[in-house]
Amino acid sequence: MKPDQELSTVTRLLHIIVAVAMIGLIIVGIYMTENKAYSLYNIHKSLGFLVLFIAFIRIVWRIRVGWPSEVAGGKAIEHIAAKVIHWVLIISTLLFPISGLMMSVGGGHGLSVFGLELIAASIDPVTEKPMVLNESVVSIGLYIHSTLMPIIIFAIVMHVAGALKHHYIDKDSTLKRMFWFKK
């Protein structure tokens, strides 16, 4: 793909859907944690599961059609930084939902996606509370989830800043090819 070539509608839509969903999930996740808003967990988990599915489709699509080429010009360090940021974002779109699943399922909460039970909760018959199935899985999931948070926020900010730099300073077609801007 040439640097000034437009991206396909599928590529654009998958990028936008995953980006909006991830940013939304991060905001809701922070809100839930800070305000102990437990009523939002089912929505958060359901959307996280869908993001995992869509992110997987996006990666398969990207492998199938190829990666967008780098925009010509710019310093080598900018190209390296862009590749690192892209990989952090791609890996995070998989690791964030997977680590959330590890916490939920490993913690005995099961997995329901918008009310459809995919994995049953493990409820202690005496306490009527979820039974932890595997503390190590929960701990690893929690570590990944909490460690990724500042990393992905930084990566998103850098990604957006890079796109805006291309558009307003470099005046190239990087941002135009991702959206349906008129040339």
pLDDT averaged over 10-residue windows placed end to end, the chain, 183 residues: 67 93 95 94 94 94 82 78 93 96 96 94 93 96 96 96 87 75 56
Q: Which residue shows structure tokens 């460690």?
A: 147
In a domain, 4, yes or no: no
In a domain, 1, yes or no: no
pLDDT of residue 6: 72
pLDDT of residue 3: 46
Domain count along the chain: 1
pLDDT of residue 32: 95
pLDDT of residue 182: 57
Q: Check: CB of residue 111 under 8 Å from CB of residue 122.
A: no
152 token code pair: 């992905």
Residue 63 belongs to domain spanning: 9-178
Sign of the Cα torsion 42, 43, 44, 49 reads: positive
In a domain, 91, yes or no: yes
